[in-house]
A and B are shown apart, each in its own frame.
Chain A
Amino acid sequence: MSSIIQCSGLSKQFGRKTALAQVSFNLQQGDTAALIGPNGAGKTTLFSILCGYLRPDSGKVQIFGQQPGSSRLFGKVAALPQDAQFDPAFSIGEQLDFYGRLQGLNLSAARAETERVLALVELSDQREHKAAALSHGMRKRAAIAQAFIGSPKLVLLDEPTAGLDPANALHIRQLISRLSGDVSFMISSHNIFELEQLCNKVLYIQHGQLSSQINAADSSSGQQHLTLQLEQQHDDALLALLQQLPGLISVQPGQKKELLLSYNPAQNAQFDLALLQCLAANGWGYRNLIKGQTLEQKLFSVS
């Protein structure tokens, strides 16, 4: 698989504040990558560099083998920039038509493309409205629509569902999920559960540094995990029972009514089955059994 984003040793300072320090990562074709980190961690700075809005102080970044902002990337790389607003003087449709024209479409093709992308975000009936007449959520969806004009190969989305109601947030997640594979995505969000559903790669950035990179396919060879959520709070008797399960390496209480079990599949390939039988035999009900750790557990070692 070929790399579409290659970053090495990327650093950026704003005065004395270090926004990014020696950030290096690769993104492969077809990847849907999550960019996670607390406020002020450097996510938007990294996005701005990838979009060509900012220049790094040092380090190298290439997208499809080109410098960010290169004319060869026009139409190939799309983005939802944070806080960018449409021109209030023109309707959303007129502006999307214009963006399509800039991407090389003729007038009728640009209009058809505007219809298509507005339909993707369920805003077809808002074509003639100006941005000021739309709600915050609608403006956000219109901004997402502009990112899908043409056929971008890489879409960078900075907080795509922030400010959207649950139904529209779900709709955007479904849209990303449907298009991922053909299109590579990089998504920044604070909604860790959303990113867990969408992304196969996670970049965790903190204090301007990439503190961890996780691939969904990664798993430790000798150890696997189950996250068990019980119907009631566990007690010492249950923990003692679970300790006797063949193959168990450790069992750790998680959040309320949650247990994180680590086991060796070489010793017991059907550990999950054994666990469920054990629970049933001892009268313990469960709500959820998740194979593996949640993204939250992986990133923050929640226990």
Chain B
Amino acid sequence: MSNLNTLFHHIGLYAGFELRRLWQTRSGLMTLAATIVIWALLFRYAIVPAADLIASRGFTDFIAGLFGNSGLQQLSRWPAPELAVYWFFSLLLLPLFSLFFTANQLCSDLERGTLRFLTLRSSRTSVVLGRFAGQMLVQGCLITLTLIATLALAAWRSGGLSFEIVNATFVILTNLLLVLAPFTAIMSVFSALVRSAKLAVSLAIVTLGLGFALLSWFIFYFPDFLFLLGYLPGAQVMQLLPQHGWQTLQLALLPLIQSAVLLTLATVLVNRRAL
């Protein structure tokens, strides 16, 4: 097998192994349980009463305040109110959850020395990319499960599923994966730097917070550099919120580039560090 084939083969094996971790191990099942609890609350208080929520004064005022009346109109153009509410909450909450759920991509293996077993058989690059791909697969599974529940609710309320509703579900899934990719890649970087998942999360939050504060301070004195805020991870979320349909993919390039840059950084860090 050529080097590139071996790399992709190993990435696939690592990703599959991470997927097994979700379904077959205690820690994976705990992640699943946490997801169910969080989404059960969202379903109970937001998605089940979605039609009422969208019509409620508080919610419409909030959306109109953020995006104007056009944003409100766009949100109401989703084929089911359940999907509109799901879209709204998942875009805002999932990036934060992603920082926690994907924090342990490498740190535990570094701490235990398990990476020493792995790197005798595969490149460090394939470990980094494989673990990232695995985390994306796991998040894809969790999102799909909650989307299926949302679809079932929409079908139950409206008495069936239309092509528009199923199509919108795929739009949401694709966009959420694109939004989560740079956040997962950020945790690839931080989990390569430290030897505990908790420390990786803390470091990520402090770095992102400090980075945003410093950038804001810099822009305060040099307003010409305001455009830099648009390159931060998740910067496109606020632009995505008032949109719907496949036109949302117009904003896909930024998270893809961010992910590629961050994964390159993680790969360089892991390749340079002692195991």
Contacts and interface: CB of A to CB of B under 8 A. Distances in A.
Interface stretch (B52-60, B107-115, B234-242): B107-115
Given A48-B274, A53-B274, A87-B114, A74 B120 contact: yes
Interface in B117-139: 117-124
Contacts of A88: 112
Given A74-B120, A74-B122, A99-B117, A89 B6 contact: no
Q: Tell me the dominant secondary structure on chain A's binding face.
A: loop
A143 B114 CA distance: 10
Contacts of B124: 69
A171 interface: no
Contacts, number: 72
A198 to B, nearest CB: 22
B9 to A, nearest CB: 8
A99 B121 contact: yes
B25 A78 contact: no
A53 B271 CA distance: 9
Interface stretch (A101-109, A182-190, A229-237): A101-109
A98 B117 CA distance: 11
A55 B124 CA distance: 14
Given A87-B112, A89-B27, A71 B120 contact: no
A83 interface: yes
B253 interface: no
B118 A102 contact: yes
A117 to B, nearest CB: 13
A51 interface: yes
A43 to B, nearest CB: 16
A4 to B, nearest CB: 16
A53 B275 contact: yes
Interface in A96-128: 98-99, 101-104
A101 B15 CA distance: 13
Given A71-B6, A89-B27, A81 B121 contact: no
B121 A83 contact: no
Interface centre among A79, A89, A95, by most B CB within 10 Å?
Answer: A89
A42 interface: no
Contacts of A99: 117-118, 121
A81 B121 CA distance: 13
B121 A103 contact: yes
A143 to B, nearest CB: 8
A102 B10 contact: yes
A75 interface: yes
A25 interface: no
Residue among A83, A85, A90 facing the most chain B CB atoms (10 A cut-off): A85
A106 B197 CA distance: 32
A78 B13 contact: no
B269 to A, nearest CB: 14
Interface in B19-38: 20-21, 24-28
B116 interface: yes
Contact of A77 (B13, B120, B275): B120
B116 A53 contact: yes
B27 A52 contact: no
Nearest to B17: A98
Contacts of A54: 274-275
A146 interface: yes
Nearest to A101: B13
29 contacts: A51-B119, A53-B116, A53-B119, A54-B275, A71-B3, A74-B6, A77-B120, A78-B120, A81-B113, A81-B117, A84-B112, A84-B113, A84-B114, A85-B112, A85-B114, A86-B112, A87-B114, A88-B112, A89-B27, A90-B21, A90-B25, A95-B117, A99-B118, A99-B121, A101-B13, A102-B118, A102-B121, A104-B1, A146-B117
Interface of A: 48, 51-55, 69, 71, 74-75, 77-79, 81, 83-90, 95, 98-99, 101-104, 143, 146
Given A88-B112, A90-B21, 7 more contacts: A71-B6, A81-B117, A84-B113, A86-B112, A89-B26, A90-B25, A143-B117
